[in-house]
Structure 1
Amino acid sequence: MSGAGGAYRVLARKYRPRSFDDLVGQEPMVRTLKNAFETGRIAQAYMLTGVRGVGKTTTARILARGLNYLIPGKIDRPTIDMPELGVHCAEIMEGRHVDVIEMDAASNNGIDNIREIIESVRYKPVSARYKVYILDEVHMLSGAAFNGLLKTLEEPPEHVKFIFATTEIRKVPVTVLSRCQRFDLRRIESDRLIGLLSSITAKEDVSIEADALAMIARAAEGSARDSLSLLDQAIAHGAGTISAEDVRGMLGLADRARIVDLFEALMAGRTAEALDLLKQQYDIGADPAVVLQDLAAFTHTVTRFKVVPSSSEDSALPQEERQRGRALSEAMSLRVLSRAWQMLLKGIEEVSTSSRPLAAADMVLIRIAHAADLPTPDEALRLLKSGAASAGLPSPGPSSSVPALSLPMGQPSGGAPAPAISQMRVQQSPVAAPVASVPNVETARQPEPARKAEPAIRFQRFEDLVAYVGLKRDIPLKIALETQVRLIRFDNGFLEFEPTDDAPRALSAEIARKISDWTGERWVVAVGRGEGQPTIAEARAAEKDKARSDARADPLVAAVLARFPGAEIVDVQIRADDTADLPIPALPAVENPDEAPEPGED
């Protein structure tokens, strides 16, 4: 905070690190420097590179402080352990020490500026141990300036050290890089940034919600300075008490929970609901392009959860986003997620350059919702090869008796087809034959054919019902059936289950209503207690645990784990043959159940 009569210091300057212990997320560099200082292997030049705000200039000052650290009678050697201020520390950290020369290479980029350095390096430092030259944004030096520095940089006097900082390492000539010890400063992880921001808000006596901290950390993209600048702005915006809504409004972000709702609506093909959710976000100030970017980020999150299940434990993500993302990753195929990602990338570009961003975003969402249940090219090819392509394509002619069914969004996780879907019996009334046209004779008006009856569907098992809900593209209900229903008894038209603790109270009524509406038959759904089987998700997790346990017991796998300490088995996938990747077969149209073809007949 500002002192009496003094100017306010922004948080990025007030809490700038003053020692290596204060640096966040740069442990590899600190370890290297510590070992070098302890063994006396101190290089003549250092190159610090990284994105903006990760601490390049600050690290250069701390390094200069460590090179010149001095406490009379206690420490008189270079070190990175600086528990208290030394003789030169305050002046170095404030950038006013006579022997630590900081130069902005962007405005001092000519050969004349380098000549001044070459002339001055001959003189020993006035009071410090080393004369240190810090050149910020060194990639801005001209070609002549770089060439003029080479000789001095390779063989400087023993009392001179160079520290360079740049965000564009590729623009630095390799002849300069080869003469420096290079350190790549990393982006700071979100959880580390959240911890840093939390400690600073505690010192500033500011109340802030955890979700608001997570938003600021995500917006900073690994930059400590950016995160502190955003926190400064949020404190002013919220007047000392910062909520997630304040930060969302300040940054023009979309509500993350509504982003998940929008994703579910798109993947279920509920176009009207998706457009309404986008309009709601737009009305409260969210940029349509930002909404699509957040949607793409959540698509990436779900895809990571599917490929790397352990990533769902990332504490930087909100709890609701982790839970719902994990459930969606189990219910959706990798092909569908990849297609949505590609369409969103293209859509973000369109919205960013459009004169009507909301309309452009609407059209992007419509395309994604329309394509949600379409087969990918390889799936369509396999459908054609298996003779089931007509399940999702227009009928070849009016005499075709193949029913038009919606294709599933993709294979269930693991690549195996849904269980027993092909055992559902579908009965459909015959379609009237086409009227033959007679040349030169007016065709008599034919009466309209009777409306076809809805197919009667019989579910042999509870898993059939869950797969059928997937065919209906109701992802929330499918997830609820897999994760919140412990089966007690199942018959066609009757379901009794024990709900999990997190199941909504109206789950049984919702199941009964939707299944009855879809099948045209009355379903009774009852809630029982204490006798339910494990949920489908729990059974699937148990199977994975058993597969991992069996794999761990395999001698070859055990030898690999022993050879690589710390390695662990993340997932086990077994493919007996290529048929494991075949999509769910189309349901055959049968006019008479007694005339159904035997398995294997065409």
Structure 2
Amino acid sequence: MENFIVSARKYRPATFETVVGQQHITGTLKNAIKNNQLAQAFLFCGPRGVGKTTCARILAKTINCTNLTADTEACGECENCISFQTGHSFNVHELDAASNNSVDDIRSLTEQVRIPPQAGKYKIYIIDEVHMLSASAFNAFLKTLEEPPPYAIFILATTEKHKILPTILSRCQIFDFNRIQVEDISNHLVSIAKREAITVEIDGLHIIAQKADGGLRDALSMFDQIASYSNKNITYKSVIDNLNILDYDYFFKITEHLTTAEVSQTLLLFDEILNNGFDGNNFINGLASHLRNLLVGKDASTLKLLEVSENIRQKYLEQAKQTELSFLLTALNLANICDLNYKTSKNQRLQVELALIKMCHIRSVVHLAQQPLKPTSTTATDQDQDKKKTNVVAQEAESLKLKAESEGSKAAESLKLKAQSEVAESEKVKVALPASASSISINIPKSNSLNTLIPSLNDLGRVANGDDDNTPKTVTGEAREAFNYDKLLEIWNRYIQILKDADKINLYTILNNFAPTLKSDVLIEISVESKTQEQLIQQESVELMNFLRNELQNFAIDIIFKQVERKIENRLYGNREKYDYLLGKNPKLDDLRKKFNLDISP
């Protein structure tokens, strides 16, 4: 029986023209030979199975050919070509650096370099997997690589360029080999199938090309394997069965279920995939790739990124038209999150199922988010009442404003502030709620002449405990009772005492450092020493304002901030005073004290 030769060896390219997918490399090498501009050292880099060693051998044969063709290719008929093809050439030496990586191996090589070629013009040394050389071997090779005799040419090949010493890289012309495109591999397999009388389906060859991940040698190995499995009838079904690859149809079906929110059908199909022996992580990655292809298929300018056969391409284009961009982007994000969490999850199947369930509800969530906000449904009577109240408040505000403009006294200024407050409050009537909130009863204060003040959180706590004496006082009418500075100071001290009792030491210290200043009838100025203190008070501003307005029976009260520097008196301070001062500078100091359970000595 005749010995079988694998396709990777049987159809190994013998000329630059037959090299697949590396035209930028072969074109440069042919021009260098034609113009007699050959470097003395080449470094071929790239992934496995893309043609590095093949191109090195073609180059070695071509530069010694005595009868080059017009296209700068080896003739294959001269003595040098024949001796190379039969493996008897004395001018081409191959060294596997993976098994010959010692200093002695390199020294033996350098000794051979000294001997000039007996036939031909050049002696070529091909060193494969050169990154496997030891550091000592690299150093022993440096001098010879830098200054070789004029007849010596070194061709180094490696899959791991980063492992090679920079001193070696600087002495070589570097050629980076690309991963071979899916279309190029598929076309090459078609040509081999014709020579071998193998019937093929283009969809199946595309699957082989994609699985090869840019390596032609891997593609040829799979091609031989499937040709034997299918008895020289390579179909799409035989390829996915032999290579254990998920069928495209699974992803097209599950995408249909996802877009129509069919949760049950989605989970059943995923269960079928698992029962067929496929891994959940492979499935979610495959689904992500499918969604990516649908995203690519939505734009004509990105169609070239679809590395699939024409038949599958049409399926992608058809489904891409039926799928919204918002769904694809959201589903891709969910698939990516699932992939990241899959390996660390204790229930990996549930991880994928949750992602699929979320994908099923993408459309409904997006549709809900796109709904415009609608005003709360109210009766015509309620709308008329609100409109009347708005007109009354606006008229009162305009009257107060005119009165304020006619007077130049301090009282007039107060009336101006009150008028501005009335106008601002009248605008609050025009508050609209989303339609989803129409069934919820929410009372919104529309003017100061309606209802009561908003109670503070402390007040709500007292109400819940049944302490009616401390419930917030109801403010009726205009709620504009006048107050003096002494009254303000009394209420202020009560509030900071409440803060102290509630263990809000930071706020207590800040507000206790400076007494408030009454800038006008309703404007209170609070002094702070830094922006940090101001921000801390603003976080408490709702509670503070409600307390002051409720206790002083004046809804127009407002506060402003003024940054000042504390004047330090020349006197001795106690530990508590020092601590309060530092706490005012940095309120986080109290958190540190509590964390380490520290006390302040008297």
Whole-angstrom CA distance in 1 between matches of 2:25 and 2:464: 88
Map 1:302-451 to 2 at 5 A.
Answer: 302-306=294-298, 308-312=299-303, 316-319=307-310, 321-330=312-321, 332=323, 334=325, 336-351=327-342, 358-371=349-362, 373-374=364-365, 388=373
Equivalent position of 2:205 in the other structure? 213
Equivalent position of 1:482 in the other structure? none
1:293 equivalent to 2:312? Answer no
SS in 2 for 1:179: coil
Alpha carbons of structure 1 residues 23 and 351: separation in structure 2 relative to 1, 3 Å: same
Matched to 1:51, the amino acid is P
TM-fit CA distance, 1:138: 0.9
Higher deviation after alignment, 348-357 or 358-367: 348-357
Equivalent position of 2:10 in the other structure? 14
1:37 equivalent to 2:29? Answer no
Matched to 1:16, the amino acid is R
Equivalent position of 1:84 in the other structure? 76
Equivalent position of 1:203 in the other structure? 195
Whole-angstrom CA distance in 2 between matches of 1:242 and 1:102: 37
TM-fit CA distance, 1:200: 0.6
Matched to 1:304, the amino acid is V
Map 1:23-422 to 2 at 5 A.
Answer: 23-70=19-66, 75=67, 80-93=72-85, 95-306=87-298, 308-312=299-303, 316-319=307-310, 321-330=312-321, 332=323, 334=325, 336-351=327-342, 358-371=349-362, 373-374=364-365, 388=373
SS in 1 for 2:156: strand
Alpha carbons of structure 1 residues 390 and 215: separation in structure 2 relative to 1, 3 Å: farther
TM-superposition CA deviations, 1:529-559 (whole Å, max 9, x none): xxxxxxxxxxxxxxxxxxxxxxxxxxxxxxx
Map 1:414-493 to 2 at 5 A.
Answer: none
Contact 1:66 1:79 in 2 (8 A): no
Whole-angstrom CA distance in 1 between matches of 2:79 and 2:337: 58
TM-fit CA distance, 1:97: 2.8
Alpha carbons of structure 1 residues 98 and 321: separation in structure 2 relative to 1, 3 Å: same
Contact 1:109 1:145 in 2 (8 A): yes
Aligned-pair identity in percent equals 34
Whole-angstrom CA distance in 2 between matches of 1:390 and 1:214: 56
SS in 1 for 2:99: coil
SS in 2 for 1:9: coil
TM-superposition CA deviations, 1:461-490 (whole Å, max 9, x none): xxxxxxxxxxxxxxxxxxxxxxxxxxxxxx
Whole-angstrom CA distance in 2 between matches of 1:142 and 1:389: 75
Whole-angstrom CA distance in 1 between matches of 2:204 and 2:231: 14
TM-fit CA distance, 1:290: 2.7
Alpha carbons of structure 1 residues 352 and 201: separation in structure 2 relative to 1, 3 Å: farther
Whole-angstrom CA distance in 2 between matches of 1:106 and 1:277: 48
TM-fit CA distance, 1:339: 3.5
Matched to 2:95, the amino acid is M
Matched to 1:188, the amino acid is I
Whole-angstrom CA distance in 2 between matches of 1:107 and 1:78: 39
TM-fit CA distance, 1:56: 0.8
TM-fit CA distance, 1:300: 1.6
Matched to 1:40, the amino acid is N
SS in 2 for 1:134: strand
SS in 2 for 1:40: coil
TM-fit CA distance, 1:82: 2.3
TM-score of the superposition, structure 2-length normalised? 0.58
Contact 1:259 1:291 in 2 (8 A): no
Whole-angstrom CA distance in 2 between matches of 1:341 and 1:77: 53
Structure number with greater CO (CA < 8 Å, separation at least 6) is: 1
Contact 2:338 2:352 in 1 (8 A): yes
SS in 2 for 1:133: strand
Contact 2:267 2:353 in 1 (8 A): yes
TM-fit CA distance, 1:287: 3.5
Gaps of 5+ in 1: 392-425, 441-602
Contact 2:101 2:137 in 1 (8 A): yes
Contact 2:75 2:81 in 1 (8 A): no
Whole-angstrom CA distance in 2 between matches of 1:282 and 1:208: 29
Matched to 2:271, the amino acid is K
Alpha carbons of structure 1 residues 161 and 357: separation in structure 2 relative to 1, 3 Å: same
Alpha carbons of structure 1 residues 319 and 261: separation in structure 2 relative to 1, 3 Å: farther
Task: Name the Cα RMSD after superposition.
Answer: 3.6
Whole-angstrom CA distance in 1 between matches of 2:268 and 2:374: 34
TM-fit CA distance, 1:146: 1.6
Whole-angstrom CA distance in 2 between matches of 1:129 and 1:266: 67
SS in 2 for 1:364: helix
Matched to 2:333, the amino acid is Q
SS in 2 for 1:88: helix
TM-fit CA distance, 1:371: 4.8
Contact 1:37 1:79 in 2 (8 A): no
Matched to 1:326, the amino acid is L
TM-superposition CA deviations, 1:95-144 (whole Å, max 9, x none): 55332111111121222211112222111123332111111111111222
TM-superposition CA deviations, 1:221-261 (whole Å, max 9, x none): 11110110000110111112122111111111111022122
Whole-angstrom CA distance in 1 between matches of 2:436 and 2:53: 75
TM-score of the superposition, structure 1-length normalised? 0.58
TM-fit CA distance, 1:429: 13
Equivalent position of 2:430 in the other structure? none
Matched to 1:117, the amino acid is L
Contact 1:249 1:285 in 2 (8 A): no
TM-fit CA distance, 1:189: 1.1
Contact 2:34 2:72 in 1 (8 A): no
TM-fit CA distance, 1:79: 8.1
Contact 2:297 2:306 in 1 (8 A): no
TM-fit CA distance, 1:275: 1.7
The structure that has the greater radius of gyration is 2
TM-fit CA distance, 1:206: 1.0
Q: If each structure's helix is expressed as a fraction of its own residues, which one has the higher value?
A: 2
Contact 1:68 1:77 in 2 (8 A): no
Alpha carbons of structure 1 residues 246 and 327: separation in structure 2 relative to 1, 3 Å: closer
Contact 1:48 1:184 in 2 (8 A): yes
